């Protein structure tokens, strides 16, 4: 019966009106994609939500008939006249004030990707105490958690007749870190699961041990992220405590490149975990204060100021729909006393040598790290790992072998970072942030030797004449 609804909503629904105006909205194709996201929302084969009832549809009509706001404009642009989809975007099944879904508001332009896909928002939609991903019936209460330390059947790769290394890795990660790997619109292959295992075990194990990674419950594999035309390797979403990896973009990277992406995103999970004891409810709303993290970053020249109550961003704040991006911080970040947005303006016109000099003078590893304190943290964390790897190669190898390996490392960084030069040496080993990382995330020689030995460097594709990394 629910299946019928899927078909009817996509193709036959009376609510579905074929392209009525010049909206950047291609009903048939985009609805199919948006709706498809529900089928892998928590895990492949996620049961579908029930069809919106008449009350919900009336509620949608009321909501849209008021004065237009950025929020109603967004819903109409994203879902067109498809009121059942808007009803889902507004739905709060258990009435706890947290809507079921977080809506992808990246774009509604099909050329550049598409918005309107559904992401997890309320972590327990039916309020039966079983988090959605562990819940075989996420929309129906009455389920019970599986015995501790065992994966529920629908998530367990071994139940899919897999006795291979991929399934073993999933088990070890769940047992040791309480994090579950989930195939969503794509499957983890053996390589991905091993790389995630490497990052967790060799870089983040201490943080897990100390309870500093509570903001991570799942690592999931998807095809791509709609953001920036799918130009995204990964994403961490604090509200649903999920780290997303995007196969379409990641598959071209070498193992080391993928590892660096995973470390960057795990860095975000570490940052978000700082805020959890204080503001989980806040995180679930669209307003973030994130005070613990802000205070922490003051040690590293990142301060923050509260936004004025009449700030433009507050007017854009959505009140009824949770979105991935149209949220607002209640504060602005400053790096070395200057607004991050002003830094970005200053740096945007710089190219070539001028850019490199600027980054060096301001101790920045790249342009992207000026986005905000979160990105600065994660980019510097990656620089820390690369710097250690670079030093290890320099110590262990000489002459041509050393040149080849350092060149391989440079190629990997160039490929991953594209036009944004990545100057990992700008994180100096005597800087406060390096010292923090060295204390909290000790890097062992065994780990570095593994990266060198395990084909992580994709060494055979390297041209030996390239010089050492910048
Ligand atoms: Ca709810
Ligand atoms: Ca709930
Ligand atoms: Ca549940
Ligand atoms: Ca349930």
> Can you give the pLDDT at residue 279?
47
What is the number of alpha carbons within 13 Å of residue 334 lying toward its C-beta? 10
* Helix H or strand E segment including 219: strand 218-222
Q: Give the confidence band of 457 by pLDDT, cuts at 50, 70, 90.
A: confident
- Pairwise CA distance, residues 91 & 86, whole Å: 9
Q: How far apart are alpha carbons 266 and 129 in whole angstroms?
A: 26
pTM for this model (two decimals): 0.88
Asked whether the predicted pLDDT for residue 278 surpasses 90, the reply is no
Question: What mean pLDDT, rounded, does the chain reach?
Answer: 84
- Of 134, 168, 198, the residue at which a domain comes to its end is 134
Distance 33 CA to ligand 2 centre (A): 26
Q: From ligand 3's centre to the CA of 23, what distance in Å?
A: 37
Phi, psi of 216 (to 5 degrees): -130, 115
Ligand in closest contact with the CA of 128:
3
339-358 pLDDT, tens digit each: 999 999 999 999 899 999 99
Q: Is residue 41 part of a domain?
A: yes
Whole-angstrom CA distances from 239 to 37, 100, 128, 236, 371 are 18, 12, 19, 9, 20
Q: How many CB atoms lie within 10 A of CB 295?
A: 12
For the residues 195-212, what does the mean pLDDT come to? 97
What distance in angstroms lies between residue 45's CA and the mean position of ligand 1's atoms?
21
Give the count of beta carbons closer than 10 Å to the beta carbon of residue 450.
13
What's the pLDDT tens digit per position in 144-188? 887 777 899 899 998 777 768 899 999 999 999 999 999 998 999
**Residue 239 CB burial class (10 angstroms; 0-12, 13-18, ≥19):** buried
Range of the domain at 130: 2-134
Q: What is the mean pLDDT of residues 289-316?
A: 88
Dist. CA 95 → ligand 1 center (Å) = 5
CA of 123 to the centre of ligand 2 (A): 6
Ion ligand 2 neighbours (CB, 5 A) are 94, 96, 122, 124, 127
Note whether 239 and 279 are within 8 A (CB).
no
Tokens of 60: 């949608």
Phi/psi of residue 74, nearest 5 degrees: -60, -45
Among the bound ligands, name the one nearest to the CA of residue 126: 3
Query: 108 and 210: one domain?
Result: no
Residue 362 included in any domain: yes
**Same domain, yes or no, for 60 and 162?**
no
* Of the residues 99, 134, 169, the one at which a domain ends: 134
Condensed to tens digits (0 to 9), the pLDDT of residues 361-391 reads 999 999 999 999 999 999 999 999 999 999 9
Judge whether 300 lies within some domain: no
Res 338 pLDDT > 60: yes
| pLDDT value of residue 154 | 92
Residue 9 has pLDDT above 70, yes or no: no
Domain membership of residue 17 (yes or no) is: yes
CA of 140 to the centre of ligand 3 (A): 7
Q: With cut-offs at 50, 70 and 90, classify the pLDDT of residue 315.
A: confident
Answer with the residue of higher pLDDT: 306 or 317.
306
Residue 319 — pLDDT band, cuts 50, 70, 90?
confident
The band of 25, judged by pLDDT with boundaries at 50, 70 and 90, is very low
| Tokens found for residue 63 | 């909501």
Residue 123 Cα to ligand 1 midpoint, Å, equals 8
Ligand 3 centroid to 240 CA: how many Å?
Answer: 14
pLDDT at 461 over 70: no
Number of structural domains (the chain) is: 3
**Structural contact between residues 151 and 163, judged by C-beta atoms closer than 8 angstroms:** no
Q: Does 331 map to a domain?
A: no
């Amino acid at each position: 019966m629910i299946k019928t609804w899927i078909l009817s909503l996509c193709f036959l629904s009376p609510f579905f009106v074929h392209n009525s105006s010049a909206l950047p909205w291609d009903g048939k194709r985009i609805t199919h994609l948006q709706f498809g996201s529900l089928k892998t929302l928590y895990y492949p084969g996620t049961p579908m939500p029930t069809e919106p009832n008449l009350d919900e549809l009336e509620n949608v009509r009321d909501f849209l008939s008021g004065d237009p706001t950025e929020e109603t404009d967004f819903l109409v642009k994203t879902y067109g006249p498809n009121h059942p989809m808007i009803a889902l975007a507004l739905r709060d099944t258990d009435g706890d004030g947290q809507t079921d879904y977080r809506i992808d508001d990246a774009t509604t332009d099909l050329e550049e990707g598409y918005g309107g896909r559904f992401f997890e928002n309320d972590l327990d939609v039916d309020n039966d105490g079983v988090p959605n991903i562990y819940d075989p019936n996420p929309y129906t209460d009455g389920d019970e958690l599986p015995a501790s330390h065992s994966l529920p059947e629908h998530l367990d790769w071994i139940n899919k007749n897999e006795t291979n290394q991929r399934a073993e890795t999933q088990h070890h990660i769940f047992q040791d870190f309480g994090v579950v790997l989930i195939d969503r619109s794509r499957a983890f292959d053996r390589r991905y699961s091993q790389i995630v295992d490497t990052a967790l075990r060799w870089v983040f194990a201490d943080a897990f041990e100390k309870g500093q990674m509570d903001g991570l419950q799942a690592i999931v594999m998807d095809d791509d992220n709609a953001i920036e035309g799918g130009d995204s390797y990964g994403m961490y979403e604090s509200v649903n405590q999920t780290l997303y990896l995007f196969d379409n973009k990641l598959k071209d990277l070498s193992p080391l490149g993928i590892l660096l992406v995973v470390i960057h995103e795990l860095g975000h999970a570490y940052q978000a975990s700082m805020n959890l004891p204080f503001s989980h409810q806040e995180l679930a709303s669209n307003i973030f204060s994130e005070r613990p993290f802000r205070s922490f970053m003051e040690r590293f020249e990142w301060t923050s100021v509260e936004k004025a109550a009449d700030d433009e961003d507050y007017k854009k704040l959505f009140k009824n729909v949770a979105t991935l991006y149209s949220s607002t911080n209640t504060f602005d970040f400053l790096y070395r006393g200057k607004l991050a947005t002003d830094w970005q303006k200053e740096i945007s016109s710089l190219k070539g040598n001028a850019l490199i000099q600027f980054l060096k003078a301001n101790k920045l590893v790249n342009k992207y790290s000026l986005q905000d304190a979160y990105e600065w943290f994660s980019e510097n964390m990656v620089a820390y790992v690369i710097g250690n790897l670079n030093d290890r190669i320099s110590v262990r190898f000489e002459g041509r072998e050393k040149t080849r390996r350092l060149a391989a490392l440079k190629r990997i960084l160039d490929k991953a970072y594209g036009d944004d030069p990545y100057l990992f040496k700008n994180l100096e080993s005597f800087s406060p942030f390096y010292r923090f990382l060295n204390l909290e995330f000790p890097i062992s020689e065994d780990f570095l030797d593994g990266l060198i030995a395990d084909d992580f460097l994709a060494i055979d594709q390297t041209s030996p004449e390239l010089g050492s990394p910048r």
